[in-house]
Chains A and B, each alone.
Chain A
Amino acid sequence: MEPITGAEILVRCLKQEGVEYLFGYPGGSVLHIYDALHAQEDVKHVLVRHEQAATHAADGYARATGRPGVVLVTSGPGVTNAVTGIATAHMDSIPMVIFSGQVPTALIGNDAFQEVDSVGITRPCVKHNFLVKDVNQLAETVKKAFYIATTGRPGPVLVDIPKDVTIAKTTFSYPETIRLRSYNPTIKGHAGQIRKAVDLIMSAKRPIVYAGGGTVISDGSAQLVEFTRLLGSPITITLMGLGAYPATDKQFLGMLGMHGTYEANMAMHECDVMIAIGARFDDRVTGKLEKFSPNAKIVHIDIDPSSISKNVRVDIPIVGSVPHVLQSMITQMREESLKLNEAALSDWWKQINAWREMKSLRYRGSDEIIKPQFVVEKLYEVTQGRAIITSDVGQHQMWAAQYYHFDQPRQWINSGGLGTMGFGLPAAMGAQLAFPNRDVACVTGEGSIQMMLQELSTMKQYGTPVKIINLNNRYLGMVRQWQEFFYQKRYSMSYMEALPDFVKLAEAYGHVGIKIEKPSEVEGALREAFAMKERLVFLDFITDPTENVFPMIPSGGGQNEMLLAERDEMVSTHEDGMVLV
């Protein structure tokens, strides 16, 4: 076999891995790799306008497809710009492989031009990383990177490649499989634990299923639906898991947590058996830990042992992959014809239906001014609930989660863990590239969208007809809401002055812009936009600046201490809640 360069080896590896899109930005240390990319057409490169967008776009692609997102950046600022996107993927367990250029091995540590300790800088926010010092180890390292990124609890893996390694030559062989003695994720749950869990669940009078993002990531949605229907119990889902169970189903109580529904949080608080599935008891979900589900026995299924009993002590932990463990439970329940106590379950549903009567997502409509919730409701109608929705971070994110009823997994793409403003637009681009024929909308706000505007240029170049739903309230809305409630309306730096004309801005980038100021124009504008199948349309909705996200558990509150829109206009928080974020 003819020896080939490290750069050529890398491109061959990407082909072997079936990489469809590579999101990146060239620079000095990766020029050989770009030269090798130039000579082929299998791996399509998307030239973003900022490296952060490369990671978010790869992330959106990964969340929409389940396949790893792949990124290529240059050394130094190329890597530091990518860090936010890497951390975003890390917090939400998204499979991603990032290739970064590095200065030549002889210069490492010399403060060379565009040198940064990439492995050091990214270490706390990757699943693993590598510095490849020898071209003979390149192919195997790439194989390891994809293996680690996509198995177990997925996450980003960075491979740092010095420039001389991309030039050096060796023969290419790509390992078929890889085994690491130090890394063997548990997939199948422990049979004894599963049996104990089923016994506990069957003894429940007030059970609840609490499912999270792990259900989506592991493609465990089908098993979740079967298990929950077989059980007949209520189910609530975290922000990260929406779509894993159809939102339009009658057993679904809506999202739980800080801005979850009243019935979901009350049912969590009052349950006697909780079945936590691929969820990690995040502080946004639990509220004050001391007050969390005081009477619940907890079963917790998670592939990551360190997620178990981290925040909340659980009674029956099961380490394993969600679909595998649920399938075992389903099989046992079917074989032994196990059923919950019907009378108790019926009483439990009566109680839940009473909580549902609070209609905690009700809001005051208006003929004068556009309510942001109304826009999301219309978006749901116009897209028939079938669009892929990405979001940025803030009030609009919560409204999208509350009012767009996701029936399918991988339909809802947002930065839940890190809460990264600027995520939505590039993520939508990645999702649209993966699914060119589906409707993709980015629900955003005028604060978040301005963190990634430059990608409008990339999206022109690659023709991704995303619909941008800008809920423009002229405020950093979530900050403003907290300042209203907890800082006596001292609106410090939350008002956005000197906003651009978003219509002209969209046009400047070669897209279509529409400004919508009246509630009566909302539906028409959405229909017009989604009819333009080939165009990116920037819809600038001028919304009510005073609208708040309800319901809400204020910091320091318990799940049963929810504030409702119509009941609690004025809100205060506990003193110890003020230190929480």
Chain B
Amino acid sequence: MKNPHRHLISILMENESGALSRVANLFSARGYNIESLTVAPTNDPSLSRLTLVTCGNDQIIEQIVKQLNKIIDVVKLMDMTEADAIERELMLVKTRAVGEGRAEMKRLAEIFDGHILDVTDSTYTIELTGRSEKLDNFLRAVDKDSILEVARSGTTGIGRGARALNV
């Protein structure tokens, strides 16, 4: 289900030290929410792509977009949620895998299209990708006590069709 107040914003910015903190600073200084944030260089090494998930009413989102555009290091941005977009998040989960639960855990990973990356006699480390909700659902499906560690990347995204964010 699509939450109308949740927005996925992708930002192309100069790959300079300080650019990330300018974005993070803006959110804390103006009291906006960041649910997740992910950043890495692009195919053009002078540019980084930062993708963040935030929430707010239309007026707040409008301000966030304007304030982000005002940052000198921000070259271009796109509110992915304005049109159809593909969203993905990567999650690594270390789970207990002993006794009867071992087979059950493997089955569950398969149902969620997960890959088991690392195996010990008592644990599995599972890789899952998908929309954040799918990753949430996996964690709900697994017995809480068997989750030893969770590492999530935060959501990134790209527009469907010809819509492209580039310089």
Asked if B21 contacts A123 (CB within 8 A), the reply is yes
Residues of A within 8 A of B22 (CB): 123
Known: A128-B72, A181-B75. 14 other contacts (CB 8 A): A123-B22, A124-B29, A129-B18, A131-B17, A181-B167, A182-B74, A182-B76, A304-B70, A305-B70, A306-B67, A306-B70, A308-B66, A309-B59, A310-B63
Residue of B nearest to A123 (CB): B25
Contact A127:B63 (CB < 8 A) given known A119-B18, A182-B13, A182-B14: no
Q: Which residue of B lies closest to A182 (CB)?
A: B75
Residues of B within 8 A of A129 (CB): 18
Closest to B18 in A: A119
Q: How far is the CB of B13 from chain A (nearest CB, A)?
A: 7
For residue B62, CB closer than 8 A to chain A, the reply is yes
Interchain residue pairs A-B with the least CB separation, the first 4: A306-B66, A182-B75, A128-B72, A305-B66
Q: Jot down 25 A-B pairs with beta carbons below 8 A, ordered by A.
A: A119-B18, A123-B18, A123-B22, A123-B25, A124-B25, A124-B29, A131-B18, A180-B72, A181-B75, A181-B167, A182-B13, A182-B14, A182-B72, A182-B73, A182-B74, A182-B76, A183-B72, A304-B70, A305-B69, A305-B70, A306-B63, A306-B66, A306-B69, A308-B66, A309-B62
Contact with B along A302-325 (1 / 0, CB 8 A): 001110111001000000000000
Binding site for A on B (CB under 8 A): 13-14, 17-18, 21-22, 25, 29, 59, 62-63, 66-67, 69-70, 72-76, 167
Question: Given A148, A304, A308, A309, which contacts B72 in the complex, CB threshold below 8 Å?
Answer: A148
The reply to whether the CB of A192 lies closer than 8 angstroms to some CB of chain B is no
A60 CB to nearest B CB, Å:
26
Q: Is the CB of A127 within 8 A of B72?
A: yes
Report chain A residues within 8 Å CB of B67.
306
| Most chain B beta-carbon neighbours within 10 Å: one of A119, A123, A148 | A123
With both beta carbons as reference points, the residue of chain A lying nearest to B70 in the complex is identified as A306
| Nearest chain A CB to B120 CB, angstrom units | 39
- Asked whether A120 is an interface residue with its Cβ less than 8 Å from the other chain, the reply is yes
Separation of A188 and B25 alpha carbons in the complex (Å): 31
- The CA of A256 and the CA of B63, in the complex, are separated in Å by 26
Chain A residues whose CB sits within 8 angstroms of the CB of B70 once the complex forms: 304-306
Residues of A within 8 A of B74 (CB): 182
Give the interface size class of chain A. Answer: 20 to 34
> Please, which residue of chain B has its CB at the minimum distance from the CB of A124?
B29
Closest to A127 in B: B72
**Contact code string A277-312 (vs B, CB < 8 Å = 1, else 0):** 000000000000000000000000000111011100
Chain B residues, CB < 8 A from A123: 18, 21-22, 25
Distance in angstroms between the alpha carbons of A181 and B22 in the assembled complex: 17
Q: B59 contacts which chain A residues (CB < 8 A)?
A: 309, 313
What separation, in Å, do the CA atoms of A148 and B73 have in the docked complex?
Answer: 12
- Measured in the bound complex, the distance between the Cα atoms of B70 and A148 in whole Å is 12
Residues of B within 8 A of A180 (CB): 72
In contact, B21 and A120 (Cβ under 8 angstroms): yes
Q: Which residues on the A side are within 8 Å of B66 (C-beta)?
A: 305-306, 308
The CA of A62 and the CA of B17, in the complex, are separated in Å by 30
Q: Please measure, in the bound complex, the distance between the C-alpha atom of A282 and the C-alpha atom of B107, giving whole angstroms.
A: 60
Q: Chain A residues near B21 (CB, 8 Å)?
A: 120, 123
For A169-212 the 0/1 string (1 means CB < 8 A from B) is 00000000000111100000000000000000000000000000
- State A54–B119 Cα separation when bound (angstroms): 64
CA distance A119 to B13 in the complex (A): 18
Residues of B within 8 A of A313 (CB): 59
Report the nearest B residue to A181, measured CB to CB.
B75
Give the most central of A183, A304, A313: most B CB within 10 Å.
A183
Chain A 129-153 interface residues, beta-carbon cutoff 8 Å to B: 129, 131, 148
> Across the interface, which residues of A come within 8 angstroms of B25, CB to CB?
123-124
Contacts of A310 in B (CB 8 A): 63
Report how far A76 CA is from B64 CA in the complex, Å: 32
| Chain B residues in 8 Å Cβ range of A128 | 72
Report Cα–Cα, A123/B23, bound state, in Å: 11
- Residues on B with C-beta less than 8 A from A124 are 25, 29
In the complex, A129 Cα to B66 Cα: how many Å?
Answer: 19
Identity of the chain B residue whose Cβ is nearest the Cβ of A133 in the assembled complex: B17
B18 to chain A, nearest CB (A): 6
Q: Report how far A305 CA is from B74 CA in the complex, Å.
A: 15
Q: Looking across the interface, which residue of chain B has its beta carbon closest to that of A120?
A: B21
The interface centre, meaning the residue of B14, B18, B75, B167 with most chain A CB atoms within 10 A of its CB, is B18
The residue of chain A having its C-beta at the shortest distance from the C-beta of B12 within the complex is A182
> Which of B62, B67, B72, B167 has its CB near the most chain A CB atoms (within 10 A)?
B72
- Closest A residue to B67 using CB positions: A306
Q: Which residues of A contact B76 (CB under 8 A)?
A: 182
Residue of B nearest to A310 (CB): B63
A148: chain B residues within 8 A (beta carbon): 72
Residue in chain B with minimal CB distance to A313 = B59
Cβ distance A169 to chain B, nearest Cβ, rounded Å: 24
> 1/0 contact trace for A105-127 toward B, CB 8 Å?
00000000000000110011001
How far is A90 from B154 in the complex, measured between Cα atoms in Å?
34
Closest to B75 in A: A182
B160 to chain A, nearest CB (A): 26
Expressed in whole angstroms, the Cα–Cα distance for A181 and B67 within the complex equals 17
Q: Give the chain B neighbours of A119 by CB distance below 8 A.
A: 18
- Give the Cβ gap from B63 to chain A, nearest Cβ, in Å: 6
Give bound CA distance, A190 to B164, whole Å.
Answer: 25
A518, B29: Cα distance in complex, Å: 49
Taking the nearest CB of chain B, how far is it from the CB of A102, in angstroms?
14
Residues of chain B contacted by A183 (CB below 8 angstroms): 72
Contacts of B72 in A (CB 8 A): 127-128, 148, 180, 182-183
A305 to B70, CA, bound (A): 8
Q: Bound state CA distance, A148 and B72, in angstroms?
A: 9
Interface centre among A148, A180, A182, A305 (most CB of B within 10 A): A182
Docked CA distance A131–B16 (Å):
10
**A128, A180, A306, A313: residue with the most chain B Cβ atoms closer than 10 Å:** A306
The chain A residue sitting closest to B19, CB to CB, is A182
Q: Which residue of B lies closest to A308 (CB)?
A: B66
A286 to B63, CA, bound (A): 19
- Bound Cα distance from A183 to B17, whole angstroms: 18
Q: How far is the CA of A545 from the CA of B33 in the complex (A)?
A: 47
Cα(A123)–Cα(B25), bound, Å: 8
Report Cα–Cα, A127/B70, bound state, in Å: 9
| B residues near A182, Cβ cutoff 8 Å | 13-14, 72-76
* CB-CB nearest in chain A for B26: A124
Give the nearest-CB partner of B17 in chain A: A131
